Structure 1
Amino acid sequence: MKEKPVVGIATDGAHSAKERLTRFRAVDLSSGKELFSKAIGNWTNNIGEFLGIVEAVRYVMEHPESPRTIYSDSITAITWYCNKQTASSRRCPALQKAEIFLKVMEARIKDIEVLHWDNRLWGEIPADFGNK
């Protein structure tokens, strides 16, 4: 069994149908400090998860001292990140910008790892919104 990561950046997204609001955020695993939190309007959970990863990549680029490992509990968002393209049928402007960013910055971000956070082994990801 792999040990729970203690270094890196944890990201999560959430969508509330009641509030009609999609959000994402990131937390530094070492300190527990929230690095950013954003609301993006009424989209989907997968879009929030993906944009959380992309925003964490931007954060790493702007803060070279930060860990270059990002965790997400969303296989879909990690797949979209690896493909540098989403499979969403929603035409969210932020998605289009994120896809372009990933393609343009490919050479500069290739050493940033995006790994799966295993909720079964390690519990909820520290960036979780607690909406379940």
Structure 2
Amino acid sequence: MRRPVEGIATDAAHSMKNGKTEYQGINLATKEQIFYKDLGNQTTNIGEFLAVVEAVKFIIENDFQPRIIYTDSMTAIAWFKAKKTSSTKPCKDLTRAEMFLRALSSDVDTIEIYHWDNKRWGETPADFGRK
């Protein structure tokens, strides 16, 4: 499989120094940032999952095509498919995201999610470049 050129790439970053978790989504076709959020002090897994859910919302609200999301987080993919996280950290955004995925499941289930292969394709275009 070649490096994807359509869909939405998502990623999150967490800074221990700043106590800040943030995520973003990039339109692969245009390279434009389509969303960004600073979550405060959360975890990378929470940020990765919430980025995927934000991409789902963007796809549904804007009838974005193709209905494809890429993330390099296997945890985010598993949580998305289960429509439930295994995080024990209290986070209202997580609760809302789980409720959203379940409430709109018939629409959510039409959206494809794929693992972004960093080894083959390099970092996802949504990467924050802080490694």
TM-score (norm 1): 0.97
Q: Secondary structure at the match of 2:50?
A: helix
- Cα distance in 2, alignment partners of residues 4 and 76 from structure 1: 21
Contact 2:10 2:70 in 1 (8 A): yes
Match for residue 103 of structure 2? 104
The answer to whether the aligner puts 1:86 opposite 2:91 as a matched pair is no
Q: Secondary structure at the match of 1:40?
A: strand
Runs of 4+ in structure 1 deviating by more than 3 angstroms, as ranges, are none
Q: Aligned letter for 1:122?
A: W
State the superposition RMSD in angstroms: 0.7
Match for residue 52 of structure 1? 51
Gap regions ≥5 residues in structure 1: none
1:57: Cα distance to partner? 0.2
Q: Aligned letter for 1:79?
A: A
Q: Aligned letter for 1:63?
A: N
Match for residue 29 of structure 2? 30
- Cα distance in 2, alignment partners of residues 72 and 65 from structure 1: 17
- Cα distance in 1, alignment partners of residues 84 and 64 from structure 2: 28
> 1:16-59 CA distances to partner (integer Å, 9 max, x unpaired)?
11110100000000110000111011000000000000000000
Gap regions ≥5 residues in structure 2: none
TM-score (norm 2): 0.98
1:131: Cα distance to partner? 1.3
- Cα distance in 2, alignment partners of residues 129 and 82 from structure 1: 25
Number of aligned positions between the proteins: 131
- Cα distance in 1, alignment partners of residues 64 and 30 from structure 2: 14
- Cα distance in 2, alignment partners of residues 66 and 24 from structure 1: 21
